[in-house]
Chain A
Amino acid sequence: MTAESGAMTTPVVAVDGVSVRTRDRTILDKISLDFSARSLTAVVGPSGCGKTTFIRTLNRMAELTPGLRIQGRVLYLGQDVYDPTVNPVVVRRRMGMVFQRPTVFPASVFENAAFGLRLVRASEEEIDAAVTEALQRAGLWDEVHSHLDGPALALSGGQQQRLCIARALAVRPKVLLLDEPTSALDPAATQRVEATLQHLKEEIVVILVTHNVGQAARVSDRVAFLHSGHLVEVGATADMLERPREKLTEQFITGRFE
């Protein structure tokens, strides 16, 4: 499977000439990139190249940072998420997000997973069903189903991170954005999160920011390489890691960087 065959189906997310600037510098420069259903794209690049900023522009989290100017279009199933008539709250529900460090709320495991559903006053049965399903999809159910009412902060770091994934999945987003989700985890926990992602990409669009080329190789179908705000190269994982077209890409994946 190649990147080109993915583009033939309707993209779930289409990034169209997105630039992000501060007053005195350009953080992202005219990025265009499509994400089609049931795919896992790894966004890689050296530290500070704009990976975090890039995924934060997709679900309108970037606009929470004062002083950032965002230009261009991000289309979710053909609708511009930056359209003034679109409420960012809705955008963020459709595109879940997981952060670098686990960010569980000071509440029980169950209430963490139920957070997004409580906001829209879902019924108890709905919440029960959705929480169970989300914990299963996140590969956490077997470990926590006996103590759902226990404090989430008592879980291990890896479990907390998968709970954060479950929490995002419970509102059934079509897109899941992850910002270096394993960088604070040990190898065993990392492996479990990666296994979870392998399952998820069969169902939804997964966009994974990572600075770890090995991780990209293990889990992604496609790799996008960012360098100082430019999209240098994007291609199927195997092609790109074995036969990079650009010199910068080759330098990065062979580790001759920094």
Chain B
Amino acid sequence: MGAVTGAPPLAAEDDLRRDRSGHLRGRTVLDRCIGWLLPLLFLVAIAPILDLVYWVASRALPTFTLSIITTNPSGAAGGLLSPIVGSLEILLLATLVAIALGFFGGLATAEYLDEETAGAIRVTANVMVGIPSIILGLFGFIVFVKYFGWGASLAAAGVTLGIFMTPYVYRATDLAYLSVPPHIREAAVGSGATPLQYLFRVATPIAFPSVLTGIFLAMAIGVGETAPILLATTPVAIPPLSLFQPASALPLYIWSGFENGLILPVAIHRAFQAAFLLLVIVVGLNVLVRIIAARSRRRLEGLFQ
């Protein structure tokens, strides 16, 4: 038992320290180098984010005052009130439209269609996500601004952006209901629940947090979009008083600043301040999503105990 001490020297093929192929050294070194180099590629993602956040913050914050969010723009100066209000109004309308158009489709696909049809229909929603946003903008212009005659308005912008957000809400709903564990469904149906009881009492409470996070994510994507609303409304200086008046928005404000050359320092500062507010809204929505996701995970874990 144990090691062979003082035994005759090992044959080359038995010696763990000798390599028969002659390539071992090179292979091991290559593996080590790649192991060090590939993680450095994360810098390609991390460095631009840090740079962007640093510059946006450093150009936005020094001249940031409360009056910026309480006054309307005037020329290149003034505040950002109407873009902020407009962005929120457009986003609210768009979210309602996206829920109306996307939620029931996702629910139907997950709960009421057979596997194969659902699979094919999912592809259509995923393909719609891939439609360039500028094309949606053109669609909104042709249909809502011109054909329906709404003109450049809050309504046209909100509905167009809502259609843009629809497939995101659809996919989130679909996934949320799909992730209700089958054994829970069987248990509910087995204990005599009607389909509607199952839907409202069992599936929806489980799926709801995921649907909500999906909606918030769609909002985070939608609030930063420029192209879908570019043609549907115009950057005006005052918040709209009705659905059919134009509403400004933070992306549109930056856009028109760029079109006017971004030469005056105050214009540059305002543009960065608008960008900063956009980042704050986007990050805020994402944080909200993480919180809800973490909470519901804890709740679901309780469900499975």
Contact = CB atoms under 8 A, between A and B. Distances in A.
| A contacting B, Cβ–Cβ less than 8 Å | yes
Interface in A3-46: 7, 10-11, 14, 16, 32, 34
A89 interface: yes
B131 interface: no
Given A87-B24, A87-B28, A81 B16 contact: yes
A90 B2 contact: no
A77 B24 contact: no
B1 A7 contact: yes
Contacts of B10: 77-79
B16 A90 contact: yes
Chain B CB count within 10 A is highest, among A77, A91, A174, for A77
Contacts of A56: none
B23 A77 contact: no
A10 B23 contact: no
A119 interface: yes
Interface residues of B, number: 18
A85 interface: yes
A78 B4 contact: yes
A101 interface: no
B28 A89 contact: yes
A86 interface: yes
Contacts of A91: 16
Chain B CB count within 10 A is highest, among A10, A85, A91, A120, for A120
B24 A78 contact: no
Contacts of A34: 1
A110 interface: no
Interface residues of A, number: 27
A20 to B, nearest CB: 20
Contacts of B2: 14, 16, 75
A121 B14 CA distance: 20
A120 B21 contact: yes
Interface in A151-191: 174
B223 to A, nearest CB: 40
A83 B16 CA distance: 10
A76 B2 CA distance: 10
A138 to B, nearest CB: 21
B71 to A, nearest CB: 56
Contact of B14 (A77, A81, A86, A120): A77
Interface string B1-23: 11111010010001111011101
A230 interface: no
A58 to B, nearest CB: 13
Interface of A: 7, 10-11, 14, 16, 32, 34, 75-81, 83, 85-87, 89-91, 94, 119-122, 174
Nearest 5 A/B pairs, CB to CB:
A120-B21, A78-B4, A86-B16, A78-B3, A79-B16
Interface of B: 1-5, 7, 10, 14-17, 19-21, 23-24, 27-28
Given A78-B5, A89-B27, A91-B16, 14 more contacts: A10-B4, A16-B2, A76-B16, A81-B16, A86-B16, A87-B19, A87-B28, A89-B28, A90-B17, A90-B24, A94-B14, A94-B16, A119-B27, A120-B21
10 contacts: A11-B1, A34-B1, A75-B2, A77-B4, A78-B4, A79-B10, A81-B16, A89-B28, A94-B16, A121-B23
